Amino acid sequence: MSLQEMYLDCRAEGDLSLMRRSRCLLRQAMAHFLRLNIVKKLLLGFLPLIFLLLAFAALALFSLNILHTHSEAIIHTDIPIQDGAEEMVALVLDQERFAKRYALLPAGEILQLFESSSEKIQDIMTSLANLPGDRALPLTALARRQSNYHDFLWQTFIEDSGQQLDKFREAALERELETLQEELMVILASLKEAAWIDQRQKTSSSAAMGRIAFKIAATICGVGLLLSLGAAYLVTRNISTTIRKLVQATEQISQGDFDCELDISNSDEMGDLALAFKEMGQRLKHLEKSYKDASPLTGLPGGIAIERKMRNVLEDGGFFAFCMFDIDHFKAFNDRYGYSRGNQVIKSTAQIIEQVAEGVVDREETFVGHIGGDDFVLITRSSTYTDICGEITHRFDNIIPSYYGAEDRKLGHIVGKDRQGNLSRFPLAGLSVAVVTNKKRQINSYIQVGEIAAELKKAAKSRGGSIIIEDKRSSG
């Protein structure tokens, strides 16, 4: 749900004040956040840190760019202007000194030094004109003043060298020289001062930028830290609360309370875990009920579970086959070989029935139970129930001789007392199977199924050997 939709929902609820609308949006945003899976929650928790790093990077790059620009301007513009102005001041004074020296002692070396000073001044002005940036320098005025100054020195001290001047003329020339020199010095001083002021402004601006960057960085850090802590608190609190509820539910289940309610509304992996946990509790409850009624020898569900299963099958309707298995001559076998080996036969019989049932196509609709002693039940909706029972009796007949001694196997029977105490011959054990179905008749109760199965089992045992007898009588 978007924030706009949340806002409309809040308006629909009648929360007209800004504070109430804000609270409503916050609640709905929180509900939306809790519906996210854990991965998305963790990503949202890291987003403030990511934004913090990006903001820091942007701020650092912006600040470094300004500092770099100021540093470039100071190094390549302001400092060269100041150095050039100072050097030109020294060269202007050198020009005066060389011109006056030439007037006293005309020599080519002195004249060369004078011209060299003038050329250096021109070179410096050319360099200043080529400096980067759009700085407006008074180079035109400086060049004009320098030309006037150079021409005055040339005409006064070099061309007219050796002439005798009266004191008045000499004083007038000195005043004119001072005026020209002062004009030059004023321009050079203003050039140097302007560069120095610009340098100071850039330095101050860099320092101010550093302070601002620090404040912004501190603000971003504080906000990012609060957001990260808030997101981390929400995520960890949600997960820890769910885990605590699961721990409490585990303790209740360990104490036998399988109907414990889990108040967990998460839609993430923890919510899935809660649903699976609840389902597990119900399965454990079912297993506990089955275990209480299970046979301690085979672990198969007992009489109560068999009756419950059969009642469910009858209520659901549809075809079913109730197959009862009974081991023939089992009492004589126990008398001959003892209960320990008899228990082994019972376990093996249970394993055979379970293994065959595992291969049934409708496995979920097939149930195996142990009524007790040597009686077993298989309930199935499969139409191949005769094949299933045939496979069970076939496997039973294959293994049962191995439980007899070599002499009894050779004879094919054992000698023992019957229920009346008379000596009798008992064949090797077989498996009688009584099959009750609703294929031809309507069956309405478990009692009816039991009565029919008991009748069929009695008929099967009277015939001897492994045999399958199916009730084929119809309702009509």
304-320 residue pLDDT tens: 899 999 999 999 989 99
CA 198 – CA 69 distance, rounded (Å):
13
List CB contacts of 289: < 8 A, sequence separation 6 or more. 305
Residue type, 439: K
Cβ-Cβ contacts under 8 Å for 315 (sequence gap 6 or more): none
Higher pLDDT, 205 or 122: 122
> How are beta strands 467-470 and 431-437 bridged, if at all?
parallel
Residue 37 confidence (pLDDT): 67
Lowest mean pLDDT among 1-10, 34-43, 98-107, 209-218: 1-10
Q: SS3 for 302?
A: coil
**pLDDT of 4 over the 60 cut:** no
- For residue 207, what are the CA distances in angstroms to 194, 218, 222, 351, 425? 20, 17, 23, 88, 116
Q: How far apart are CA 128 and CA 346, in angstroms?
A: 113
Distance CA 284, CA 290 (A): 10
**443 Cβ partners below 8 Å, 6+ apart?**
314, 436, 449, 452
Task: Work out the average pLDDT over 44-61.
Answer: 75
pLDDT of residue 287: 62
**Residue 462: its pLDDT value, please?**
77
Average pLDDT over residues 44-65: 76
* Mean pLDDT of all residues in 86-112: 89
More confident residue, 143 or 13: 143
Confidence at residue 286, expressed as pLDDT on a 0 to 100 scale: 65
Mean pLDDT over 267-283 rounds to: 71
Cα separation, 461 vs 81, in Å, equals 125
**Digit-coded pLDDT (tens) for 397-455:** 999 999 999 999 998 899 888 777 788 889 999 999 999 999 888 998 999 999 999 99
β-bridge mates for residue 370, sequence order? 376
Looking at the whole model, is its pTM more than 0.85? no
Q: Which helix (H) or strand (E) holds 81?
A: helix 79-104
